[in-house]
Structure 1
């Protein structure tokens, strides 16, 4: 299993030296583990060059099996820890950028004060990729909007306002509220959220098709673009927490909200560390912005 972990880290970082530093081995030890793995399989797995390493064609075919094996090993390790009680473990979370920035840091800090040996892995995605990661076991649970998963159980946590985001000298800044009609003809910067988007759904329900200038996967990139006058947008109020971007926000008319909840693996498959952290989140929902 150590050889598989070493091989995975070399592929992930593209470099034997970096992989050795990340895993706490010498470079020669990592090279030896990969070489013995190749010898056991009787297959060359990596191309080595001055610029780094990359998978061979045969290595590309075997790599998905390696990843599944490591996930199953981690699940077995987590189950053993569950039997022995929560002392350590790894919690894998699929998350969106606003939750990563404004919810998880305080939650993780407080949780690790109680369970200092528990580690976290955060994968940032959207309303499509996160449920798929949960389904395949890539993550234990993730944050999504319940509206995006009508046939999947989602534990509701909280909702927050969506706001119109405008450049500082935009013609709509003088209005106390902004309607979807006002925004429909403007260059619109759409947050790429996967198969479901609260703003685009609201536009469609009112019979509008906004002039989408660009689709962007990150809220904060959109704020930078709006600041430069590249367009307008609609973003969750949570995104504006502690931001230094020079933009103007206005309430929408009609009012729009974003719901956030948790989608997770079946309770029987969920590691005890993740179960405990989900319970921790639920007890601290009222404190979240």
Structure 2
């Protein structure tokens, strides 16, 4: 693969020539020469070079999707070559969500790297929609989604877990052992933005209700802070609340009817997954009972 395109991707990703040079383990001047050579060959200026960092020009933005696909194909060729040669190397590109990043992946990655120390991980954190977009465009090998949210991807169901109502301390509904969704529907809600599919919204819709969503936020921890401040309630996965809820002045309660979340691994085609990704999925499935 032409390393000039890889250098360009690192510059776009990190916003600077120096960071790209660090990633490629070469000098900044070498990266500058690569980009200058590429721009001369294509007869187009790809980057705006500014004191605050580098951004793509309009021509660069139009070309970049093709360049990114070329880089991904080149990296996969390298990985496939390693597999053919019998080398236990590779890069696992994974799409994940906050609760899994915080509570599943540290132990899973640590255990996997004890057996396969040369495999590297690249994690992209998003939601059910962006993770599937990354699968479709080849940015990631696989990702974690709710199978009910799947669109044109294959899935393997992994685990099912509860979701809990998150309320400010002192809220009248916090005195109940189980909080009716009908009562919550009247309260201001802070919704975790999960893309085109949301387990709490589906739960409300199943009983003919629509909650009063005041805020939509991508980050579970920010939501807990806002609930703590009395801005509303939320419904979050018990997994994300497993060890962090004690850091906030909030109350957790099951709902009536219950809300749950199913997590699956999603990918485009299992037969085309890199060997390292397939091995990691096998490692995850063999350790699923030990996961919270």
TM-score, normalised by the number of residues in structure 2 = 0.95
3-state SS of the aligned residue for 1:154? strand
Quick one: distance in 1 between partners of 2:150 and 2:289?
A: 24
2:183 is equivalent to residue 182 of structure 1: yes
SS of the counterpart of 1:263?
strand
Tell me whether 1:262 sits opposite 2:268 in the alignment.
no
Answer whether contact 1:86 1:272 (CA < 8 A) is retained.
no
Check if 1:82 corresponds to 2:51: no
Q: What's 1:34 paired with?
A: 35
Counterpart Cα distance in 2 of 1:258 and 1:62 = 39
Asked if structure 2 preserves the Cα contact closer than 8 Å seen for 1:157 and 1:262, the reply is yes
Any gaps of 5 or more consecutive residues in structure 1? none
Are residues 1:16 and 2:22 paired? no
State the shift of 1:151 in Å: 6.7
| Separation (CA, whole Å) in 2 of partners of 1:190 and 1:182 | 16
Structure 1 CA distance for aligned equivalents of residues 242 and 199 of structure 2? 20
Which blocks of at least 5 consecutive residues in structure 2 are unaligned? Answer: none
Aligned to 2:250: 247
Shift of 1:54: 2.1
Question: Does the CA-based 8 Å contact 2:69-2:138 persist in structure 1?
Answer: no
**Partner residue of 1:118?**
119
Aligned residue for 1:91?
92
Where 1:9 maps in the other structure, the secondary structure is helix
**Aligned ranges 1:195-234 → 2 under 5 Å:** 195-234=196-235
* 1:150 Cα deviation after fit: 7.4
What is the CA–CA distance in structure 2 between the aligned matches of 1:127 and 1:46, rounded to whole Å?
31
Rounded Cα–Cα distance in structure 2 between residues aligned with 1:63 and 1:139: 17
Q: Does 1:277 align with 2:259?
A: no
Query: Is 2:181–2:204's contact at 8 Å kept on the other side of the alignment?
Result: yes
How much is the aligned-residue C-alpha RMSD, in angstroms? 1.4
Residues 64-109 of structure 1: CA deviation (Å, up to 9, x unaligned): 1110100110111121122123511000111111011110111001
Q: CA deviation at 1:219?
A: 1.3
Separation in structure 1 between the aligned mates of residue 260 and residue 205 of structure 2, nearest angstrom? 16
Matched with 2:290 is 287
Q: Distance in 1 between the 2:283 and 2:73 partners?
A: 25
Q: Is the 8 A contact 2:190 2:233 kept in 1?
A: yes
Q: Deviations over 1:121-173 (max 9, x none)?
A: 11111112212221221111111111222775321111111111000111111
User: Is this contact kept in 1: 2:163–2:259, CA < 8 A?
Assistant: yes
The equivalent of 2:133 in structure 1 is 132
- Give the drift of 1:220: 1.3
